[in-house]
Every structure is written in structure tokens, then in C-alpha cells.
Chains A and B, each alone.
Chain A
Amino acid sequence: AQTVTQSQPEMSVQEAETVTLSCTYDTSESNYYLFWYKQPPSRQMILVIRQEAYKQQNATENRFSVNFQKAAKSFSLKISDSQLGDTAMYFCAFMKKSGSRLTFGEGTQLTVNP
């Protein structure tokens, strides 16, 4: 079974600064997908960024980028130029390539301060 661990329950950052959220996972699979989802108070889960395990290049989406270390089973999210609207709960998630369940971590509550 796959497990996903987010060791930072809460983090805060000043507006316009950079913050990194950590995620580690455990799996015996060699082919899989990793995701970061954002959940604001509205409860709507929104995809932030995804990474395919067979791709060595780290994914980037505008201000969001990941540091994917496959051997270490680490998948951190870096948010640059933090904005007030980035305040939300962030979840790291794992999915086998066969498209089975999404397994989520416990989440990191990020607060961006003005």
C-alpha cells in the first residue's frame, strides 16, 4: 500500500516571498503520478501541479514548481512570489499509473501574510 507523509501541519510566509512545502511517499511501484492539490476554505480541491515519475525534469506551472527526488521518494512544492490568494490547505497525492485511487497526505495549512 502507498503512503504519503506531509510533516508540516502549518506554515506561513510573507507576501512576495518563497515557501517550500515538503512531501514524502512510500511505494514499491516504479510508474506513478504525484500531485499537489490546493483546498481553500470553499473546500474545492484544485490541482496545482502534477509530476509523472518517469520524467526526470521537474514540473513547473507559473509560480509553482516541484523538486522531485525519485530515489529519496520526495516531492516538495515551491511557491514563488507568494500571494494572499495562495492561503489554503495543500495536499500531496499519489496515484499508480494504472489509475487507481488517489492517496493523500494529511495536508499543510499555508498562510500568506500581508
Chain B
Amino acid sequence: EAGVAQSPRYKIIEKRQSVAFWCNPISGHATLYWYQQILGQGPKLLIQFQNNGVVDDSQLPKDRFSAERLKGVDSTLKIQPAKLEDSAVYLCASRDSGRANTEAFFGQGTRLTVV
């Protein structure tokens, strides 16, 4: 079974530029999460999708961050414009919500550096 795929692995941009991250979840997983992990901290949820609908985006800075999940499969997370404090690892995870006790599977993340 293929895992969660994310790209790119690394990205360096200047502040005020825009950036986009892509995630391909495990086939059949209806739930998709985007997490932000600042160095030395635990991951914090940005947004949760169930199929192509948003379940929880309460911690998403909506003035600069946006995410979509077209057709309930792949997802993109965009930051525009980026700030220095957005430097972090962005983790995508998916989960088979049809089974009550399943864990979330994570991708390898995208390390973003804003200079």
C-alpha cells in the first residue's frame, strides 16, 4: 500500500512570496489533515477535510492560508503572502474514517523556510 505522498520536500522562499504544497493521500482515505510543525514543537492542525468538505479549519490563518481538496482526493495548501513565522514543516496525513479506531498515516512533510 502506497503511503501519503507530499511535494516538494523542501522549499525556500522570501517573505511576501507565495508557495503551494501538494498532498496525495492513501487511496480510499476520506479524511485528510494538514498540520504545521514548528521546530521543536508538536504538530498543530491547520485544516481537516472529510472527502472534499472542510470539517475543521478553526486554526487556519485564513487571511494568508488556503487549502482545497478537489474531488476528495489530492489536496493543496497555499500560503500567500508568506511571513517569517511560517517557517515550519507542513505535514499531510490521511485516515480511513470508515474504521473507528484507525490511526492517521503521515507523509514525510515539506520543510518551508521563509527568509
Contacts of B105 in A (CB 8 A): 47
Given A45-B93, A99-B95: A104 touches B101 (CB 8 Å cut-off): no
Number of chain B residues close to chain A: CB under 8 A: 26
B42 touches A104 (CB 8 A): yes
Given A43-B89, A106-B41: A101 touches B100 (CB 8 Å cut-off): no
B residues in contact (CB < 8 Å) with A: 31, 33, 40-45, 48, 55-56, 89, 91, 93, 95, 97, 100-101, 103-109, 111
Cα distance A50–B105 in the bound complex, in angstroms:
13
**A residues 19-75 touching B (CB-CB < 8 Å):** 33, 35, 37, 42-47, 50, 52
Cα distance A103–B35 in the bound complex, in angstroms:
10
Given A102-B33, A107-B42: A50 touches B109 (CB 8 Å cut-off): no
A59 to chain B, nearest CB (A): 11
Contacts of B108 in A (CB 8 A): 42-44
B89 to chain A, nearest CB (A): 6
8 closest pairs, A vs B, by CB?
A104-B42, A45-B106, A47-B103, A43-B109, A101-B45, A106-B42, A104-B43, A44-B108
A17 to chain B, nearest CB (A): 26
Contacts of B31 in A (CB 8 A): 99
B101 touches A33 (CB 8 A): yes
Given A43-B89, A99-B95, A99-B97: A35 touches B56 (CB 8 Å cut-off): no
A100 touches B41 (CB 8 A): no
By beta carbon, the residue of chain A nearest B58 is A101
A41 to chain B, nearest CB (A): 11
By beta carbon, the residue of chain B nearest A35 is B103
**A residues 80-114 touching B (CB-CB < 8 Å):** 91, 97, 99-107
Contacts of A6 in B (CB 8 A): 42
Cα distance A46–B93 in the bound complex, in angstroms:
11
By beta carbon, the residue of chain A nearest B31 is A99
B59 to chain A, nearest CB (A): 9
